[in-house]
Amino acid sequence: MHSRRLVVKTIKIKGMSCQHCVMAVTKALNAIDGIENVQVDLKTETASYDETRPVDTVVITEAVKKAGYNVAG
Ligand SMILES: [Cu+2]
């Protein structure tokens, strides 16, 4: 039995305007290996998720960009 690494992270997402955008960003982030339990909030323009192993920020930025949005900051 090995311990499970888990870090909760929150990032800022720019460009979302409706629930369709929220779903698109959620799907893009959920597809990344090492990211789980994605929660995207339109009003605060944030995405929170559990990182179960280290994920390069470039991977996250590119996935969000590919979905049509941007990671701010
Ligand atoms: Cu939308």
Domains of the chain are 7-72 (3.30.70.100)
pLDDT digits (tens, 9 = 90+) for 7-39: 999 999 999 999 999 999 999 999 999 999 999
Helices (H), 3-54: 19-30
Average pLDDT over all residues of the chain? 94
| Structural element, H or E, at residue 66 | helix 57-67
The residue written with tokens 């990032």 in the block is 11
How far is the centre of ligand 1, averaged over its atoms, from the C-alpha of 19 (Å)?
Answer: 6
How far is the centre of ligand 1, averaged over its atoms, from the C-alpha of 24 (Å)?
Answer: 8
How far is the centre of ligand 1, averaged over its atoms, from the C-alpha of 21 (Å)?
Answer: 4
How far is the centre of ligand 1, averaged over its atoms, from the C-alpha of 3 (Å)?
Answer: 38
The residue written with tokens 């290996």 in the block is 33
Helix (H, G, I), strand (E, B) or coil at 28: helix
Q: Report percent pLDDT > 90 for the chain.
A: 90
- Strand locations in 1-73, DSSP E? 7-14, 35-41, 46-51, 70-72
